[in-house]
Amino acid sequence: MHHEHDKKFSVITWGCQMNEHDSEIMRALLENNGYEWTDNLREADLIVLNTCSVRKHAEQKVLGFLGNLKHQKKKRPDILIAVGGCMTQNPEIVRTFQKESPHINILFGTRNFHQLPDLIRKAEQTNSQVVELGSGDEELPGLLPAHHTSPVKAYVTIMYGCDNFCAYCIVPYTRGREKSRPLDEIWEEVENLVKEGYFEVMLLGQNVNSYGKDLPGDTNFAALLRRLDQIPGLARIRYMTSHPRDFSDELIETIANSQKVCEHFHLPLQAGSNNVLKKMNRGYTREQYLRLTEKIREAIPVASITTDLIVGFPGETAADFQQTLELVERVQFDAAYTFMFSPRPGTRAAKMKEQIPPAEKKARLNQLCKTQNQISLARNQKLEGQTWEVLVEGKSKTNPKRWSGRTRTNKIVVFEGEEDLAGKIVEVKIDCAQTWTLFGSLIPN
Ligand code: SAM
Ligand code: SF4
Ligand code: F3S
């Protein structure tokens, strides 16, 4: 449906894969409603911002972007600006937007993104801001179209919200209560994706291993994986994120016995000291976490394990931080995403005494990164000389003979190949390892 007079739009996304996928859905819905995508904001008639609140820095980037849009709107008063995502679930931010940002036409919440076409129609008929923030308790929208960014892998939301309330985290306040999509609906969506030619799906939820707790019957995440594992034509199943507390033996066994579920475990540790873990409300001890990673490696020796870590949580002593370093050495993660604690208004940790000074947080972050980078490199170097299955995602922008893809363990592999390999599954021998990337040569078949 491309007409010459189609209005053009763009969606700018901050934050996690959840947000990226919500944006993919909004893009498809707008395209189905006669809008045409553009990468060039200067020609867009509609600009949608899908925002993130996870750290202060994320919010600042959005606010800076909104400031620039204010000037654009002065030059082109007819453009529509819509702002949704996690920032708009904060009543204080919404009040400020309502008072001080009349250039925003539409404010919508994290559970209202699929209503965007209706909200645009409303906004076109009024001069005042259209606000639709929902109650957080609305019915799930069912099957939705999506414009998948990658031609190879597709995101599938399996549950919304989070009930964990980790003391530092804003997500339970922005995404509402946990709600699982029905298993049959997810299965149908994945089957459709395979028919469209996708080899890989990434199942999304803030805490996928509590999938199904709110559904009738005794379905759970392991049952969902077993069901999806049987879909012919699908090659790889990934998921993000699993919580170390709920990672059951049944789930490890299911993954070990499956054909398609990838041997990659992203298990956010956050901190290595039991004091800090307790204050964070994570629900596991360092000993339990270590045991979990051992069980995974016993069941699946090739498994890669990655994590998220926060330094400078309130009250974290030098000794607590040493415990994080020590556990990082013990577990031998393949990679880690490391963050400085950022107090989020409304969370418990923001009110805790003994906030750590920024310079100290920075020093700890540097030390942690240095430790982890050495481990990542050493673990990657062990792969030199081995041959791995790689799903090719695309070619390098600078060298058209250079391809990039991922192993099932989620390692990025770069190699050369003459023919068009996009979307293909190939074998690559690893020649040289770096901290974040493996370089290899294609094995001809
Ligand atoms: N649900 C997932 C989980 O439990 O890991 C993802 C949560 S969040 C989108 C991704 C990561 O951001 C978290 O694992 C945590 O390490 C980090 N994070 C969350 N809140 C933070 C904060 N206030 N300051 C710094 N890092 C934070
Ligand atoms: Fe945030 Fe914890 Fe929920 Fe993850 S599990 S989204 S860190 S509250
Ligand atoms: Fe950000 Fe919201 Fe995701 S706060 S990380 S976009 S759930």
- Tell me the per-residue pLDDT of 407-441, one tens digit each, with 9 for 90 and over: 999 999 999 999 999 999 999 999 999 999 999 99
Residues 168 and 110 grouped into a single domain: no
Residues 218 and 316 grouped into a single domain: no
Measure 274 CA to ligand 3 centroid, in angstroms. 26
For 232-244, what is each residue's pLDDT tens digit?
999 999 999 999 9
Average pLDDT (250-275) is 98
State how far the Cα of 21 lies from the Cα of 27, in Å rounded to an integer. 10
Pick the last residue of a domain from 213, 234, 262: 262
Q: Is the CB of 169 under 6 A from ligand 3?
A: no
State how far the Cα of 16 lies from the Cα of 219, in Å rounded to an integer. 26
pLDDT of residue 4: 52
Position 144 in a domain: no
Q: Is the CB of 282 under 6 A from ligand 3?
A: no
Residues 198 and 305 grouped into a single domain: no
Residues 128 and 27 grouped into a single domain: yes
Q: Is the CB of 413 under 6 A from ligand 2?
A: no
pLDDT of residue 239: 98
For 4-17, what is each residue's pLDDT tens digit?
568 999 999 999 99
Residues 15 and 116 grouped into a single domain: yes
Residues 39 and 103 grouped into a single domain: yes
Q: Containing domain of residue 397, as a range?
A: 387-442
For 210-221, what is each residue's pLDDT tens digit?
999 999 999 999
Q: Is the CB of 175 under 6 A from ligand 3?
A: yes
Position 79 in a domain: yes
Q: Which atom of ligand 3 is least distant from the CA of 86?
A: 2
Which CATH number characterizes residue 188's domain?
A: 3.30.750.210
Position 141 in a domain: no
Residues 271 and 258 grouped into a single domain: no
Position 378 in a domain: yes
Average pLDDT (34-63) is 96
Residues 38 and 51 grouped into a single domain: yes
Residues 35 and 122 grouped into a single domain: yes
Residue minimizing CA distance to atom 7 of ligand 3: 171
Query: How much is the pTM?
Result: 0.96
Residues 59 and 124 grouped into a single domain: yes
pLDDT of residue 228: 98
Average pLDDT (246-271) is 97
Average pLDDT (112-116) is 94
Read off the pLDDT band of 445 (50, 70, 90): confident
Position 137 in a domain: no
